[in-house]
Structure 1
Amino acid sequence: MSDLLEVLRQAVEQQGQAAVAKTLGYSRSTISLVLAGKYTGRTELVLAKVKEELGKVTCPYTGDSIALTVCKTMANSKAPTHNRVKMAHWQACRQCPVNCSKGE
């Protein structure tokens, strides 16, 4: 949980509170309260959204650090039959141990 709070803090420092709040679909005051440890709502829901939108995974195929949303998009996309390079990546994604399509 503290790791996700740190991810949230860093995102706010880099992008600003309003931008992060918009990305996460929460108000600026909610983000402020979560960071201050004073949020009376379900903090775990906010942090789950932080993980989904701001969290990163290392793609075993490319070796790059990518956002979970990018991973999910690739994992849940249709086969890109028009492009051999993208198709190879997509096929590797089907066997990936991270495989964000599992909803993790």
Structure 2
Amino acid sequence: MNQTARVDLSAWGEQPPLWVSLLAREVEQSNRTKTGERVGVSRTAVTLLLQNRYPSPSTERMERRVMDVLGRIDCVALGEVITAEQCQTYRERPAPTHNPHAMQHWRACQHCPQNPRCAAKEQRHGSH
């Protein structure tokens, strides 16, 4: 069984930015070299970004690159491609008890494999 190594994001504090989390997840699913190739940066840049040690005073350009490549999600509930920010907004909002259609979407988000909480639970319990 192939165990995926978790990327340490502690240098980013308690809640790393979304683009850093997306970059880390991509590294966990492949490796730093392949992730760098996919995003269009070097392996070293990927490492420095994940360690919050990137030498530039601004990571805005890197953030944009990561979000352009890794920030698109095929939303099963909507049946369309959405941005990672839209996905995060849908899944983290309070349950929309006033609207049955919105509630159905919200429930789908709570069990979606794109939801980091669901992925974390699956890793803790193992796949069945």
Higher helix share: 1
Residue 50 of structure 1: aligned partner = 66
Unpaired runs of 5+ in structure 1? 69-104
Q: State the distance in 1 between where 2:73 and 2:27 align.
A: 20
Q: CA RMSD in A?
A: 2.6
Give the CA deviation at 1:33. Answer: 0.3
- TM-score (norm: length of structure 1): 0.55
> Structure 2 residue aligned with 1:3, among 6, 11, 18?
18
Percent identity between matched residues is: 27
Correspondence 1:31 to 2:67: no
Identify unmatched segments of 5+ residues in structure 2: 1-15, 85-128
**Deviations 1:16-39 (Å, cap 9, x if unpaired)?**
110010011111001100100000
Which segments of structure 1 move beyond 2 Å, counting only runs of 4 or more? Answer: 64-68
Contact 1:21 1:31 in 2 (8 A): yes
If asked which structure has higher relative contact order (CA below 8 Å, sep 6+), I would say 1
Determine the structure 2 residue equivalent to 1:22. Answer: 37
| TM-score between both structures, scaled by the size of structure 2 | 0.45
